[in-house]
Amino acid sequence: MAPPILKLDDIRLSFGGTPLLDGANLQVEPGDRICLVGRNGSGKSTLMKIAAGLVEAQSGEVFRHPSSTIRYLEQAPDFNGFTTVQAYCEAGLGPGDDPYRVTYLLNHLGLTGQEDPNRLSGGEARRAALARVMAPEPDILMLDEPTNHLDLPTIEWLEGELQKSRSALVLISHDRRFLEKVSTAVVWLDRGLSRRMDKGFAHFEAWRDDVLEAEEIEQHKLGRQIEREEHWLRYGVSARRKRNMRRLGELQNLRAEYRGHRGPQGTIQASVSEGRESGKLVIEAEAITKSYGERQIVAPFSLRVHRGDCIGLVGPNGAGKTTLLKMLTGQLEPDSGTIKLGTNLEIATLDQKREDLNPDDTLSHYLTDGRGENLLVNGEQRHVAGYMKDFLFQPEQMRTPIRNLSGGERARLILARIMARPSNLLILDEPTNDLDIETLDLLQEIVAGYNGTVILVSHDRDFLDRTVTSTIAPANPDAPDGRWIEYAGGYTDMMAQRRGALEEKKKAEREKAKAETASAPAQPKSQAKLSYKQKFALENLPKEMEKIEKDIAAREAKMADPNLFTKDAAAFNRIAAELEALRAKLTAMEEEWLELEMLREQLEG
């Protein structure tokens, strides 16, 4: 086992009241891929900041290897003193770091580097910060919600980039699919303590449930032991009182342990207040279009949305998802075509920018619209304090200004308000941002069990797969041109249908090429048969391709070893380069063989 390059031991931190961290540990070794998980407010970001040296723990030990480099993804980057994004990113490089990495990363993150840092949107600023921390390839890379504001193609690119990175990773993310693909270990923060599992996130939920079940059994055993000791205290032999004072003290300790036990944080108890039933046809769009200047955002597009549908909108940033969503819900007029909304619609909207929040509002005022301390939920009067507890807020937070809430708490607050209002059409624009895994589970259950209609925009592949009945995506995701296509099923279903359509297209192109070759004028006699060199290649290429496929499989098996980079970084890099070269060679051979086979069929036909 390699020595740790970062170690946090018995970390404690409290802001008054219940400790946020109460003996948490974190150990990072070269090559680790650790995801930090836990409920909103469990201290994940705080522990990461302590590890990065940005926050001081009240007690505990922090060890950082003197020669190791650490980069932490800032939530609010400081661009002061930088005239371009390129300059901001290059300032994060160390001696000997490759400046080309900055250009490479910015290009894949959708930035040119010449942007004015002070005019970036929130998403662009986050991308710039991501490029800055990744460019130096540090020993430890700490990423807090790196996929926020990234579109699906960029998230998938980031997964590949992190998988081949030499840096040890510590990640916080709500994106299940992302964590499953990148992580090899999980550190779970729960009630101030940390627990570690040396498996990827795909195994986390089953492990967590086992831990909580074992804890419940132990607590039950402790309760039974206290009952037995209390029985002895009441009915034991009083003449032995002096000798059994120690046993009495132990009973008091058991009682204190039992009373002091903090159970797992409660689950949110919520359901949507559903309004009256809408008409069967909710939205009918006929050949709608939208352009801004010369750029077409929506080419003629038609759609019928029926009651009970759950439709997902996906696509790269800037493709026009929000524009299309606003047109479908009547908030934006199309340039041409018609939009008809159904009858009895009661719409509830979650906006990705959280623009509905006034930072000066208190939680109580926001939930009740300033109408006292009660609200109507599913036709029942509820006191706001009790309703807040359903969403894991404490009664004393009633008068707390919204500006004091974390991002996850704000997301929960908006969900609480939306769910209290009668609706039959839910519009969710990036609803998963800042939600913890458990709240995401709840949202999935709500959407899946909602009797009305749902239209949502999301980059969360797992969330889409679990909820939507159809997916709308750009016809050309690499270069959106305004054409949109509706696919049956979720994100995985959409990708499978796209692959099938691509294979059909390639097959049609091959058939067309064959037909054109067959109808072409006959070749001169000298070209009426394959040359010796062509025959030799046609016969031997399959054997060579088979050998290369075995070489690729052998190297892929070596790369699958999670400890390879730790044991031999040079071998890891060499095998990765060999693998890339072999794949390129195999592709070239396949193309050469296909051309020769088509020529043979033409000559023999």
- Which H, E and C letters describe 3-40, residue by residue? CCCEEEEEEEECCCCCCCEEEEEEEECCCCEEEEECCC
Binding residues for ATP: 38-45, 315-322
- pLDDT at residue 239 in the model: 41
Residue 268 resides in a domain: no
β-partners of residue 2 are none
CA–CA separation, 89 and 82 (whole Å): 9
* Look-up of token digits 């916080």: 172
As a whole number of angstroms, the distance between CA 343 and CA 280 comes to 9
- CA–CA distance, 444 with 101 (Å, rounded to integer): 38
What's the whole-number mean pLDDT along residues 281-288? Answer: 94
275 within a domain of the structure (yes/no): no
Q: How high is the pLDDT of residue 525?
A: 47
With contact defined as beta carbons under 8 Å apart, do 350 and 412 qualify? Answer: no
State the pLDDT at residue 42: 83
Same domain, 391 and 488: yes
The one-letter amino acid code at 258 reads: Y
CB 189 within 8 A of CB 28: no
What span, in angstroms and rounded, lies between the C-alpha atoms of 597 and 605? 12
User: CA 179, CA 38: separation in Å to the nearest integer?
Assistant: 13
Contacts of 36 (CB under 8 A, 6+ apart): 44, 47, 48, 170, 171, 172, 187, 189
439 & 470 share domain = yes
> Does one domain contain both 180 and 218?
no
- Rounded to 5 degrees, φ, ψ at 440 are -60, -40
Q: Compute the average pLDDT of residues 96-124.
A: 89
Domain annotation covers residue 266: no
Tens-place pLDDT, residues 337-346: 999 999 888 8
Cα 487 from Cα 313, distance rounded (Å):
10
Asked if the structure places residue 556 within a domain, the reply is: yes
Judged against a pLDDT cut of 80, whether residue 416 lies above it is answered with: yes
C-alpha of 103 from chain center: 25
CA 330 to chain CA centroid, nearest Å: 30
Overall domain count for the chain: 4
Examine the pLDDT at 8 and tell me if it is beyond 70: yes
| Better-scored residue on pLDDT, 504 or 263 | 504
Which tens digits make up the pLDDT trace of 11-61? 999 877 678 899 999 999 999 999 999 887 788 989 999 999 999 999 999
Q: Please say whether the beta carbons of 46 and 21 come within 8 A.
A: yes
User: Would you say residue 436 has pLDDT above 80?
Assistant: no
**Of 52, 86, 89, 91, nearest to 69 (Cα)?**
52
Residue 574 lies in a domain: yes
d(CA 472, CA 489): 10
pLDDT tens-digit profile of 169-225?
999 998 999 999 999 999 999 888 999 999 999 999 899 888 888 878 877 777 777
Alpha helices in 236-296 (DSSP H): 245-260
Decide if 564 is inside a domain. Answer: yes
Domain boundary among 192, 226, 260: 260
One domain for residues 83 and 95: yes
Q: Are 289 and 433 in contact (CB under 8 A)?
A: no
Q: Which of 327, 332, 321 is nearest to 285 (CA)?
A: 327
User: Which pLDDT score, from 0 to 100, does residue 526 have?
Assistant: 46
End position of a domain, from candidates 260, 295, 329:
260
Lowest-confidence pick of 409-423, 444-458, 554-568: 554-568
Torsion on CA atoms 567, 96, 106, 47, rounded to nearest 10: 60
Annotated binding site: 38-45, 315-322
d(CA 63, CA 541): 56
d(CA 338, CA 340): 7
- Kindly state the DSSP code that residue 553 receives in the 8-state scheme: H
Give a yes or no: residue 550 inside a domain.
yes
Give yes or no for a contact between 601 and 514, defined as CB atoms under 8 angstroms apart. Answer: yes
Give the domain-ending residue among 462, 496, 530: 496
Q: Is 60 helix (H, G, I), strand (E, B) or coil?
A: strand
Q: Which of 328, 311, 288, 352 is nearest to 473 (CA)?
A: 311
- Specify the pLDDT at position 585: 85
Same domain, 329 and 451: yes
Backbone angles phi, psi at 536, to 5 degrees: -60, -45
Do 134 and 240 fall within a single domain?
no
Residue 501 falls inside a structural domain = no
User: 187 and 218: one domain?
Assistant: no
Do 453 and 576 lie in one domain? The reply is no
Contact 131, 106 (CB under 8 A): yes
Model pTM?
Answer: 0.69
CATH number at residue 318: 3.40.50.300
**How far is Cα 263 from Cα 385, in angstroms, rounded to an integer?**
21
pLDDT digits (tens, 9 = 90+) for 486-528: 999 999 999 888 888 878 877 777 787 777 766 666 545 444 5
The mean pLDDT value of the chain amounts to: 84
> Do the Cβ atoms of 5 and 170 come closer than 8 Å?
no
% of the chain beyond a pLDDT of 90 = 35
Residue type, 184: T
Q: What percent of the chain has pLDDT over 70?
A: 88
> According to the model, what pLDDT value does residue 304 have?
94
Query: Are both 253 and 220 inside the same structural domain?
Result: yes
Residues 343 and 456 in one domain: yes
Same structural domain, 218 and 155? no
Residues 28, 31: Cα–Cα separation, whole Å: 8
Residue 592 belongs to what domain range? 521-604
d(C-alpha 431, C-alpha 434), whole Å = 9
Angstrom CA distances, 134 to 92, 399, 446, stand at 9, 41, 37
CATH of residue 526: 1.10.287.380
Are 489 and 554 contained in the same domain? no
